[in-house]
């Protein structure tokens, strides 16, 4: 079995596991200030990715990211499906002809997050998934530019994802259904920021483990 196939399978499994384990918490967060269907939609999208993970393993990274994005768009529905789909489709476009080292991936992810900002007409500080995604994108680019080691860059990405997610608790929402609540949204973490953080942390852990295993061989 190829290294890429193992990595993709592990990534999808890890993301599914962390979302399923935390599904009750995420649903509660979403019911407090959102529509309450975020985690169900996300689980549907992840199930669809699990069904095509063998197909994804045969593609180059650009095509795989594009396929992931289109699959999420078509299976998740709602705003989150559109936004997560946009993230990966844009990453796929940015990844064309690139080898996936830290420098390349940092730029690819940054371009994906920029597309989410444009699609959602949102930015950091508005109590959305971008409060997790933007700090992670900025951290990866900064570490790549400073030739920080992959292990340190991964730890930094994980830390800023958590900090970004936690920051949404004290923010007033200006996008989506939560924006109608005004100050009543304060005190609640945004569900999209939480699931984004959970997935990023799961991805970091898988990549770090694969790197350790490769070095041990």
- SS3 at position 141: helix
pLDDT (0 to 100) of residue 215: 52
Give the burial class of 197: count Cβ atoms within 10 A of its Cβ; 0-12 exposed, 13-18 middle, 19 or more buried.
Answer: buried
Against a cut of 0.85, is the pTM above it?
yes
pLDDT digits (tens, 9 = 90+) for 149-167: 999 999 999 999 999 999 9
Model confidence at 99, in pLDDT bands (50, 70, 90)? confident
- Name which residue leads in pLDDT, 216 or 49: 49
Query: What is the extent of the structural domain holding 111?
Result: 3-216
pLDDT at 86 over 80: yes
Asked if 190 contacts 3 with a C-beta cutoff of 8 angstroms, the reply is: no
pLDDT (0 to 100) of residue 179: 66
pLDDT at 6 over 90: no
Question: What angle is formed at CA 111 by the lines to CA 121 and CA 210, rounded to 5 degrees?
Answer: 125
pLDDT at 1 over 70: no
pLDDT at 143 over 60: yes
Number of separate domains in the chain? 1
Model confidence at 187, in pLDDT bands (50, 70, 90)? confident
Model confidence at 178, in pLDDT bands (50, 70, 90)? low
Give me the chain's average pLDDT, please: 91
- SS3 at position 147: coil
- Name which residue leads in pLDDT, 67 or 6: 67
Asked if 175 contacts 122 with a C-beta cutoff of 8 angstroms, the reply is: yes
Asked if 128 contacts 189 with a C-beta cutoff of 8 angstroms, the reply is: no
* H helices present in the chain, as ranges: 3-21, 23-33, 38-51, 53-57, 61-76, 78-94, 102-120, 130-145, 150-167, 191-216
> What backbone phi and psi angles, to 5 degrees, belong to 172?
-90, 130
Model confidence at 177, in pLDDT bands (50, 70, 90)? low
pLDDT (0 to 100) of residue 43: 97
Dihedral sign for Cα atoms in the order 210, 58, 49, 131: positive
Model confidence at 100, in pLDDT bands (50, 70, 90)? confident
Which residues does 24 contact at the CB level (< 8 Å), separation at least 6?
Answer: none
Asked if 188 contacts 131 with a C-beta cutoff of 8 angstroms, the reply is: no
**126: number of Cβ within 10 Å:** 20
Model confidence at 214, in pLDDT bands (50, 70, 90)? low
pLDDT at 198 over 90: yes
Q: What is the mean pLDDT of residues 54-69?
A: 94
CATH code at position 43 = 1.25.40.340
**40: number of Cβ within 10 Å:** 17
Q: What is the mean pLDDT of residues 37-48?
A: 95
């Amino acid at each position: 079995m190829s290294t890429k196939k193992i990595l993709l399978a592990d990534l999808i499994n890890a993301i599914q596991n962390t979302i399923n384990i935390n599904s009750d918490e995420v649903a509660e967060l979403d019911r407090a200030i959102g529509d309450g269907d975020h985690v169900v939609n996300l689980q549907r999208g992840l199930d669809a990715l699990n069904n095509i993970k063998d197909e994804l393993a045969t593609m180059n990274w650009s095509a795989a990211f594009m396929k992931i994005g289109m699959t999420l768009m078509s299976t998740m529905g709602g705003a989150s499906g559109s936004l997560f789909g946009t993230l990966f489709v844009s990453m796929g476009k940015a990844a064309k002809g690139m080898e996936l080292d830290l420098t390349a991936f940092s730029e690819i992810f940054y371009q994906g997050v920029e597309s989410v900002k444009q699609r959602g007409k949102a930015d950091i500080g508005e109590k959305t998934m971008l409060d997790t995604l933007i700090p992670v994108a900025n951290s990866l680019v900064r570490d790549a530019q400073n030739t920080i080691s992959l292990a340190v860059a991964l730890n930094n990405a994980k830390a800023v994802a958590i900090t970004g997610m936690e920051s949404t608790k004290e923010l007033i929402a200006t996008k989506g259904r939560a924006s109608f609540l005004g100050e009543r949204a304060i005190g609640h973490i945004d569900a999209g920021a939480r699931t984004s953080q959970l997935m990023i942390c799961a991805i970091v852990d898988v990549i770090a483990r694969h790197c350790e295993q490769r070095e041990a061989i």
